[in-house]
Amino acid sequence: MPRGKTRYVRFADRRQAGALLAERLSIYSNRNDVLIFALPRGGVPVGFEVARHLQAPLDVCVVRKLGVPGQEELAMGAIASGGTLVLNESIIEALNIPQRTIEAVEARERRELEWRENEFRGDLPPADVKGKIVILVDDGIATGSTMKSAVESLRGRSPSRIVVAVPVAPASVDSDFQAVADEIVCVIKPEPFHAVGLWYENFTPTTDPEVRDLLNRARRGERPDAT
């Protein structure tokens, strides 16, 4: 390993990552003005641990990435509940993506977003964030489009503070979110970064039933392994 280069240890899984992230957020523990919002699906196991350690309520902020057709893992933008749309103009310009393509992808993802809102929350209304500290959690940040869309969605509901909290992100996360969030908390910022999944030993996709189960257990105050 070259001199001066930091060696980063990967997280075992999202649950361990959430516990380590919660340590960085301990200043917000046991307060009645703190709400945890997790981005489904992968952010929910992380958010569950953060909420459990901080003794705070857990909710979801449903966000859908707008993937480039044929390169769906590459985000040209993102949408969130409440009609929020954030576009990655640099990707759109670099790939010369036409407006009609963006609109078609957005329409499809809005249908999926509405379905997931109902699937995860059911008849329960979103938590009231007015005047509250919102800690917005995901399992990591890559391009930042989905997280920025989530921040904008929640900002419109008048919280007192929005904290973006993730286990892993590129070193540029602070400058990227300085004008978006009130605070950024990140456990590791490895360089080179490449992808979120590379920093987990187990990055198995989180399923919809797992999201529903964790949300229900959080509402009952249970641990994820409770029976």
The pair of structure tokens assigned to 115 is 């379905």
pLDDT on residue 117: 86
> If you average pLDDT over every residue of the chain, what do you get?
90
For 47-75, write each residue's pLDDT tens digit: 999 999 999 999 999 988 899 999 887 88
Find, among 45, 93, 42, the residue nearest to 65 by Cα.
42
pLDDT on residue 223: 60
pLDDT on residue 226: 44
pLDDT means per 10 residues, the chain with 227 residues, are 61 97 97 96 97 95 90 85 83 94 94 89 84 97 87 90 97 92 96 92 95 91 56
The pair of structure tokens assigned to 75 is 């985000």
Burial class (CB in 10 A: 0-12, 13-18, 19+), 15: middle
- CB atoms under 10 Å from CB of 220, counted, come to 8
pLDDT on residue 81: 78
Task: From residue 164, give the alpha-carbon distance in Å to each of 27, 127, 186.
Answer: 14, 17, 8
* 148 vs 78: CA distance, rounded Å: 8
Domains of the chain with CATH codes: 14-219 (3.40.50.2020)
* 173 vs 161: CA distance, rounded Å: 18
SS3 173: helix
The structure's pTM equals 0.85
pLDDT on residue 2: 42
* 187 vs 113: CA distance, rounded Å: 29
Beta strand pairing status for 84-87 and 183-188? unpaired
